[in-house]
Amino acid sequence: MSKTYKSVKIEKGYGGWGGPIVVTPSGKRNKIVSITGGRIHPVAQYIAELTNAEAVDGFNNPVPFEETACAIVDCGGTLRLGLFPKNKIPTVNVNAIEPSGPLAEYCTPELYVSAVKKENVSLTDMVQKVSDDAGDNVVTNDKKASTPEKSYGKFDGVLNIIEKIGRLAGYIVSVFYQSARESVNMMIKNVIPFMVFLALMNGIITKSGVGNTIAVLLKPLTGSVGGLIIFALIIGFPFLSPLLGPGAVIQSILGVFIGTSISQGIVPVNMALPALFAISVVDACDFIPVAASLGEADPDTARIAVPAMLFSRFITAPIAVLIGYVFSIGLF
């Protein structure tokens, strides 16, 4: 007697991470284990139906690793997240959670995928036939091997409601938890280092006296509207602006210079807003090709869009400075 198993490809859902992963049950690894707080999750049941494997409630009926073809979890980022990937078992998280926790290093894109729903699961062309005579690939279909869900009779309806409420609450908590973690990661990796860099530059410029020297040199350009227009045109040259744009580092340094000059009275305070518009001319000029690619623009469109955008920024630079000057009237 033989049994045919099919393979499924599981891709990440909206806001998810990892994948796609391919799950192919075999003679011994023929169980789709659902560890979602009790009862079999619909995603686990769906994967089992497509692959012809057996869905098991791993919360109430623990399954050995060597019999697990795929694990379905609803983890919010704790130890459970990496337990199965550590044992080379494909893991599907129904929550939109990135690898985290003490075993996060084992959650590779080949073994872990998150935010999975039924529509993210699809059949592949791979089919595996397993015979009962295949040694350790024996498929046991007797009653002892099956692990049906527990039935609580008249309380099933109440338990279903409690289960749905619990899953909804867990989903909401995991979303907030993941959002908080991503916010903290962004602050640590991007915002705080940039703030430290600007504070360092400000300290060097202020204490070394370099700022005063540069401020005096820049005064003809930053002390009047005409000078700021010339300054904006210089840094807005189409061949120069893409070189000055990356990371907004140059703009930040110029902002520190001009801000220091304003605080020391070298540059009039009413030039602050026009100066901001002047140094912002090069913002995102290096990002135009990437934006065209993200917008799935044709190669010809991208080829024309880049110089067109650069020249438009160059042309609108003096207009932006004038607008800033007009709106700064009466502010100071």
Res 138: pLDDT: 38
pLDDT in tens, 287-327: 677 677 667 777 788 788 888 888 888 898 899 999 988 98
pLDDT in tens, 255-289: 777 787 787 777 788 888 888 888 888 776 766 77
For the chain, what are the domain ranges? 2-150, 152-208, 210-328
Q: Do residues 174 and 97 make contact, with C-beta atoms less than 8 angstroms apart?
A: yes
Instruction: Give the pLDDT mean for 111-138.
Output: 74
Residue 9's pLDDT band (cuts 50, 70, 90): very high
Residue 135's pLDDT band (cuts 50, 70, 90): very low
pLDDT in tens, 29-58: 999 999 886 678 999 999 999 999 999 988
Instruction: Give the pLDDT mean for 65-84.
Output: 84
Residue 137's pLDDT band (cuts 50, 70, 90): very low
Could you give the percent of the chain with pLDDT greater than 70? Answer: 80
Whole-structure pTM over 0.75, yes or no? no
Q: Do residues 140 and 27 make contact, with C-beta atoms less than 8 angstroms apart?
A: no
Q: What is the 3-state secondary structure (H, E, C) of the chain?
A: CEEEEEEEEECCCCCCCECCEEECCCCCCCEEEEECCCCCCHHHHHHHHHHCCEEEECCCCCCCHHHEEEEEECCCCCCHHHHHHHCCCCEEECCCCCCCCCCHHHCCCCCEEECCCHHHEEEEEEEEEEECCCHHHCCCCCCCCCCCCCCCHHHHHHHHHHHHHHHHHHHHHHHHHHHHHHHHHHHHHHHHHHHHHHHHHHHHHHHHCHHHHHHHHHHHHHCCHHHHHHHHHHHCCCCCHHHHCHHHHHHHHHHHHHHHHHHCCCCCHHHHHHHHHHHHHHCCHHHHHHHHHHCCCCHHHHHHHHHHHHHHHHHHHHHHHHHHHHHHCCCC
Residue 165's pLDDT band (cuts 50, 70, 90): confident
Active-site residues: which are they? 75
Res 136: pLDDT: 44
Q: Are strands 91-93 and 68-73 parallel, antiparallel or unpaired?
A: parallel
Res 52: pLDDT: 92
